[in-house]
């Protein structure tokens, strides 16, 4: 590793020292790089033949920021001395206050500490599409190399706050308009132009600007106070449980009130506190966990090459099929959408057009790209266009005979290399492919609704699915900007199986006399986007009713068959679809708890007969949260025990991206380990004595509680080969 990591310096005849960071793939600022930068800068300042410095990154990428692996080391050891002094020693004292000017030559990306290095330079030259940003808050920290001070001084307070608090990237083109970038040029010219600027500054023909000393973009004190106060209000709303947002605003404020240097010092101190806080531990875990999901033993480590998937057929133009087609089209993949009749086909095409327009409205797609996407869509009522497709994704209703006959047809009409995928969320894939001889090409492509927006793609493999098919679907997933998680074949697969007790647990609590709106409020303040009852309203009751029997058959006595949804349906309620569920849904208004639901709940409690002694139970807020989430953790333990997921952290990512489990809690298993297996197990044991097998601890959980091993630790202690550490 150390060989490929280096900082080089070449001094040209023009007297410009070109300092280059080499650390593939993103030139992250590993401590070796920091040390290298300090050494090369010291040398450049010392040498008489150097008049000015150009700082750049190798292989078309300036720098992806400070090496996040170091945060893990700091968090594991609790020792902040692993963080090198970059902010004051290198950026402020050596670069910015140096006796020779520095110019950053920026290409590809300059993020986090990377962008902060450039802001310590006296000018920044970039290629137009370069991505610039300070995304540190997504890791639970904040910019720590002076970014909280220099960015507001370069682009103004409102834009800087937006970029930091929302971790928004801008292009260098926009950076130029806002004053962050001094000149734009083509990649071929980049170093030449940067050298020219460096010499011009050295010769005082261009301003020798130290960003930290500027105040012209900060506005008046009262303006700054207003902007900061509005940002605080906003952060309270959107990041209620996150410490880094208010901390970042405090540090920015310090700089506005007491000057940039004071801000830099405060930033360094607060940074060290944040990096050790639980939020940063969770978010750093999620960063690496997300990148591990595509490392699949026996698939991605056996030298297979992904095949190109140019054309995909989607069967079924309902909500899921249209969403999947939209995601593929936006990823520049041609789609044949097949429906059973012209009316359904037209409806599917209309939904896709609506989805695409929605993306344009949200600003995530340009009009040109929308038109390109529409041009890649073809409708079909038969299999004529299937003869040259590389992949089919079936997205019809959850009926076994229908799926079986579709797959039997597909085997006949598709080319022999074609991957045959199903978007089923529950049905055993072996059963889906039973009537074919193409078991090695059959795979689950389980998208989450709305499929063009939700980031998770659960890839389900059977024992017969070929590594090539898995690799190809992982690759398509990445192309369409999904996070693929490869899981095994079982009822509900990883996500729906793990979370089946989520809704059931909440319903059990209601049967015991707990107010359902209180449950939703508590779960929402825990960090889920909405509570289980509102979620059910939004998803519609159809799926819950359809999978009821499948779950009952698969999960035996731990399945809590509540009957609440049946009663809701009998009462004429369908959830959000007809505006009447647990909540009332009116256009343009927030969902309102519906008081007229009480007779349904009363009837439900009468029938359920779960209250001990027939009396409503009294539970604390903490009891309620635990009684909803601990059974979910318990099922997750079974999922890990049966090797449905490759590693515990895959379940963290699946829970965050598939169910909206709060990212800042690190995902389901990471969170459960902060609570402790022993505590969870003891609580479940106690409840199972009173309320039955729904709460009965799994053998995996019991074993971990006894041994003291973390729930997320691999079964046999093994070296994690997927992450390279220092
Ligand atoms: C003091 C400072 O203010 C603190 C900081 O600078 S904190 C760091 C701030 N920077 C960031 O948050 C950027 C993090 N990185 C990213 O967002 C994305 O990786 C990226 C946009 C740079 C590239 O995305 P993409 O091309 O999809 O590649 P991606 O798979 O994410 O990353 C490629 C590899 O680089 C690694 N990597 C990316 N950025 C890294 C970083 N800052 N540190 C360490 N490793 C990093 C990834 O872990 C991954 O490793 P792997 O191949 O072993 O899994």
Residues forming the active site: 116, 136
- Is residue 157 exposed (0-12), middle (13-18) or buried (19+ Cβ within 10 Å)? buried
Mean pLDDT of the chain: 96
From the CB of 31, is ligand 1 less than 6 Å away?
Answer: no
* Ligand 1, atom nearest to 291 Cα: 54
Which pLDDT score, from 0 to 100, does residue 715 have?
80
Q: Ligand 1 centroid vs 131 CA: distance in angstroms? A: 13
Average pLDDT over residues 705-710: 98
In this structure, how many other beta carbons lie within 10 angstroms of the beta carbon of residue 290? 20
Counting ligand 1 atoms within 8 A of each CB, the residue from 1, 33, 65 with the most, and so the one to mutate, is 65
Question: 68-96 b/e with 16+ CB inside 10 Å = b?
Answer: bbbbbebbeeeeeebbbebbbebbbebbb
From the CB of 184, is ligand 1 less than 6 Å away?
Answer: no
Average pLDDT over residues 348-358: 98
Residue with tokens 């038969």: 382
Task: Give the C-alpha separation, 307 to 471, whole Å.
Answer: 9
From the CB of 151, is ligand 1 less than 6 Å away?
Answer: no
Instruction: With beta carbons less than 8 A apart as the criterion, state whether 28 and 58 touch.
Output: no
3-state DSSP call for residue 17?
strand
Atom 49 (ligand 1) nearest CA? 291
Sign of the dihedral defined by the CA atoms of residues 680, 688, 541, 510, in that order = negative
From the CB of 116, is ligand 1 less than 6 Å away?
Answer: yes
Task: Give the C-alpha separation, 312 to 333, whole Å.
Answer: 7
Which pLDDT score, from 0 to 100, does residue 212 have?
98
Q: What percent of the chain stands above pLDDT 90?
A: 94
Which pLDDT score, from 0 to 100, does residue 723 have?
43
pLDDT at 726 > cutoff 50 = no
pLDDT digits (tens, 9 = 90+) for 69-100: 999 999 999 999 999 999 999 999 999 999 99
Atom 14 (ligand 1) nearest CA? 64
Atom 31 (ligand 1) nearest CA? 291
Q: What's the complex ipTM? A: 0.99
Q: Ligand 1 centroid vs 28 CA: distance in angstroms? A: 7
Instruction: With beta carbons less than 8 A apart as the criterion, state whether 94 and 45 touch.
Output: yes
Counting ligand 1 atoms within 8 A of each CB, the residue from 1, 32, 62, 64 with the most, and so the one to mutate, is 64
pLDDT digits (tens, 9 = 90+) for 186-197: 999 999 999 999
Average pLDDT over residues 22-44: 98
Q: What is the DSSP string of 93-151?
A: IIIIT-SS-EEEEE-SEEETHHHHHHHTSSEEEE-TT-EEE-GGGGGTS---SSHHHHH
Residue 485 exposure: Cα atoms within 13 Å on the Cβ side: 29
CA-to-CA separations, 516 to 404, 495, 563, 590, 597, in angstroms, rounded:
40, 23, 15, 17, 10
3-state DSSP call for residue 340?
coil
Atom 29 (ligand 1) nearest CA? 291
Sign of the dihedral defined by the CA atoms of residues 421, 422, 425, 427, in that order = negative
Q: Ligand 1 centroid vs 26 CA: distance in angstroms? A: 7
Please report how the helices 648-659 and 621-641 are oriented relative to each other, as an axis angle in degrees rounded to 10.
130
3-state DSSP call for residue 493?
coil
Atom 39 (ligand 1) nearest CA? 64
> Among 510, 477, 507, 444, which Cα is nearest to 644's?
444
Torsion of CA 129, 134, 135, 137, to 10 degrees: -160
Structure tokens at 133: 């940003």
In this structure, how many other beta carbons lie within 10 angstroms of the beta carbon of residue 54? 29
From the CB of 254, is ligand 1 less than 6 Å away?
Answer: no
Confidence of residue 398 (pLDDT cuts 50, 70, 90): confident
From the CB of 115, is ligand 1 less than 6 Å away?
Answer: no
From the CB of 112, is ligand 1 less than 6 Å away?
Answer: yes
Counting ligand 1 atoms within 8 A of each CB, the residue from 26, 135, 252, 293 with the most, and so the one to mutate, is 26
Going by their DSSP bridges, the two strands 109-111 and 123-126 should be labelled as: unpaired
From the CB of 25, is ligand 1 less than 6 Å away?
Answer: yes
Q: Ligand 1 centroid vs 723 CA: distance in angstroms? A: 13
From the CB of 71, is ligand 1 less than 6 Å away?
Answer: no
From the CB of 145, is ligand 1 less than 6 Å away?
Answer: yes
Residue with tokens 């150009």: 54
Residues 6+ apart with CB under 8 A from 482: 327, 447, 455, 456, 457
Atom 41 (ligand 1) nearest CA? 67
Q: Ligand 1 centroid vs 121 CA: distance in angstroms? A: 22
Instruction: Report the Cα 262 to chain-centroid distance in Å.
Output: 34
From the CB of 275, is ligand 1 less than 6 Å away?
Answer: no
Residue with tokens 């008049």: 51
pLDDT digits (tens, 9 = 90+) for 573-584: 999 999 999 999
Counting ligand 1 atoms within 8 A of each CB, the residue from 32, 68, 295, 721 with the most, and so the one to mutate, is 68
Query: φ and ψ at 21, to 5 degrees?
Result: -95, 125
Q: Ligand 1 centroid vs 72 CA: distance in angstroms? A: 14
pLDDT digits (tens, 9 = 90+) for 164-213: 999 999 999 999 999 999 999 999 999 999 999 999 999 999 999 999 99
From the CB of 495, is ligand 1 less than 6 Å away?
Answer: no
pLDDT at 720 > cutoff 90 = no
Question: 459-487 b/e with 16+ CB inside 10 Å = b?
Answer: bbbbebbbbbbbbbbbbbbebbebbbbbb
Average pLDDT over residues 463-479: 98
pLDDT digits (tens, 9 = 90+) for 611-645: 999 999 999 999 999 999 999 999 999 999 999 99
Residues counted in the chain = 726
Q: Ligand 1 centroid vs 57 CA: distance in angstroms? A: 15
Helix, strand, coil percentages (3-state) for the chain, rounded to 5, are: 55, 10, 35
Task: Give the C-alpha separation, 396 to 422, whole Å.
Answer: 9
From the CB of 652, is ligand 1 less than 6 Å away?
Answer: no
- Is residue 136 exposed (0-12), middle (13-18) or buried (19+ Cβ within 10 Å)? buried
From the CB of 501, is ligand 1 less than 6 Å away?
Answer: no
Task: Give the C-alpha separation, 482 to 330, whole Å.
Answer: 12
CA-to-CA separations, 504 to 13, 18, 497, in angstroms, rounded:
74, 63, 12
CA-to-CA separations, 700 to 469, 642, 708, in angstroms, rounded:
31, 10, 12
Q: Ligand 1 centroid vs 455 CA: distance in angstroms? A: 18
Which pLDDT score, from 0 to 100, does residue 724 have?
37
Structure tokens at 96: 């910015």
Instruction: With beta carbons less than 8 A apart as the criterion, state whether 115 and 247 touch.
Output: no
Which pLDDT score, from 0 to 100, does residue 717 have?
52
Residue 650 exposure: Cα atoms within 13 Å on the Cβ side: 27
Q: Ligand 1 centroid vs 138 CA: distance in angstroms? A: 12
Task: Give the C-alpha separation, 668 to 635, whole Å.
Answer: 11
Task: Give the C-alpha separation, 685 to 272, whole Å.
Answer: 40
From the CB of 28, is ligand 1 less than 6 Å away?
Answer: yes
Question: 521-538 b/e with 16+ CB inside 10 Å = b?
Answer: ebbeebbbebbbbbbbbb
Going by their DSSP bridges, the two strands 52-57 and 102-106 should be labelled as: parallel
Q: Ligand 1 centroid vs 658 CA: distance in angstroms? A: 22
In this structure, how many other beta carbons lie within 10 angstroms of the beta carbon of residue 133? 23
Question: 596-632 b/e with 16+ CB inside 10 Å = b?
Answer: ebeebbeebbeebebeeeeeebebeeeebbbbbbbbb
Q: Ligand 1 centroid vs 334 CA: distance in angstroms? A: 30
């Amino acid at each position: 590793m150390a060989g490929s990591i280096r900082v080089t310096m070449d001094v040209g005849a023009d007297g410009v020292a070109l300092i280059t960071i080499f650390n593939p793939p993103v030139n992250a600022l590993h401590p070796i790089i920091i040390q290298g930068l300090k050494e090369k800068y010291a040398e450049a300042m010392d040498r008489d033949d150097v008049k000015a410095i150009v700082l750049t990154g190798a292989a078309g990428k300036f720098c992806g920021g400070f090496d996040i692996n170091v945060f893990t080391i700091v968090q594991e050891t609790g020792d902040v001395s692993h963080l090198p002094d970059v902010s004051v020693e290198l950026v402020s004292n050596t670069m910015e206050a140096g006796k020779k000017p520095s110019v950053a030559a920026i290409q590809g990306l300059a993020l986090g500490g990377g962008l902060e290095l450039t802001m310590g330079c006296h000018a920044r030259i970039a290629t137009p599409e370069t991505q610039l940003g300070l995304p540190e808050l997504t890791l639970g920290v904040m910019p720590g190399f002076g970014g909280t001070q220099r960015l507001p001084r370069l682009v103004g307070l409102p834009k800087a706050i937006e970029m930091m608090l929302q971790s928004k990237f801008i292009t260098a083109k926009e950076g130029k308009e806002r004053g962050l970038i001094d000149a734009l040029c083509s990649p071929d010219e980049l170093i030449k132009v940067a050298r020219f600027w460096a010499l011009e500054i050295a010769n005082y023909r261009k301003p020798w600007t130290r960003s930290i000393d500027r105040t012209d973009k900060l506005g008046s004190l009262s303006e700054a106070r207003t902007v900061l106060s509005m940002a605080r209000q906003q952060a309270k709303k959107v990041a209620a449980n996150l410490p880094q947002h208010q901390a970042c605003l405090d540090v920015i404020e310090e700089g506005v009130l007491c000057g940039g240097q004071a801000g830099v010092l405060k930033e360094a101190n607060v940074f060290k506190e944040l990096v050790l806080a639980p939020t940063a531990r969770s978010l750093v875990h999620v960063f690496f966990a997300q990148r591990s999901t595509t490392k699949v033993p026996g698939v991605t480590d056996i030298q297979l090459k992904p095949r190109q998937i140019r054309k995909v057929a989607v069967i079924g133009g309902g909500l899921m099929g249209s969403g999947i087609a939209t995601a593929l089209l936006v990823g520049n993949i041609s789609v044949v959408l097949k429906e059973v009749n012209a009316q359904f086909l037209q409806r599917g095409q209309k939904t896709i057009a609506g989805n695409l327009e929605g993306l344009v409205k949200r600003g995530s797609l340009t009009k040109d790209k929308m038109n390109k996407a529409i041009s890649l869509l073809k409708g079909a009522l038969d299999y004529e266009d299937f003869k040259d497709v590389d992949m089919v994704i079936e997205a019809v209703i959850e009926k076994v005979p229908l799926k079986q006959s579709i797959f039997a047809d597909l085997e006949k009409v598709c080319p022999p290399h074609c991957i045959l995928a199903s978007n089923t969320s529950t049905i055993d894939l072996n059963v889906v492919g039973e009537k074919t001889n193409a078991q090695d090409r059959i795979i689950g492509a389980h998208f989450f609704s709305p499929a063009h927006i939700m980031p998770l793609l659960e890839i389900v493999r059977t024992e017969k699915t070929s590594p090539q098919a898995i690799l190809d679907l992982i690759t398509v997933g990445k192309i369409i900007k999904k996070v693929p998680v490869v899981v095994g074949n079982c009822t509900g697969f990883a996500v729906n199986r793990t979370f089946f007790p989520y809704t059931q647990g909440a319903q059990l609590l209601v049967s015991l006399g707990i107010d359902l709106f209180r449950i939703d409020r508590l779960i929402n303040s825990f960090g889920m986007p909405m509570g289980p009852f509102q979620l059910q309203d939004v998803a519609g009751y159809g799926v819950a009713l359809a999978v009821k029997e499948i779950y009952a058959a698969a999960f035996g006595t731990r399945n809590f068959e509540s009957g609440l949804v049946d009663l809701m349906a009998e009462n004429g309620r369908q959830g959000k679809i007809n505006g009447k569920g647990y909540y009332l849904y009116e256009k343009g208004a927030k969902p309102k708890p519906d008081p007229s639901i009480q007779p349904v709940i009363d009837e439900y409690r009468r029938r359920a007969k779960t209250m001990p002694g027939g009396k409503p139970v009294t539970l604390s807020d903490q009891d309620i949260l635990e009684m909803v989430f601990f059974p979910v953790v318990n099922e997750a333990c079974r999922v890990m025990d049966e090797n449905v997921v490759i590693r515990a952290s895959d379940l963290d990512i699946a829970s965050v991206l598939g169910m909206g489990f709060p990212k800042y809690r690190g995902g389901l298993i990471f969170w459960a380990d902060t609570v402790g297996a022993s505590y969870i197990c003891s609580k479940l044991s106690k409840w199972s004595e009173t309320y039955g097998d729904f709460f009965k601890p799994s053998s995996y959980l019991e074993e971990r509680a006894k041994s003291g091993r973390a729930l997320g630790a691999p079964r046999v202690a093994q070296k994690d080969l997927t992450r390279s550490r220092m």
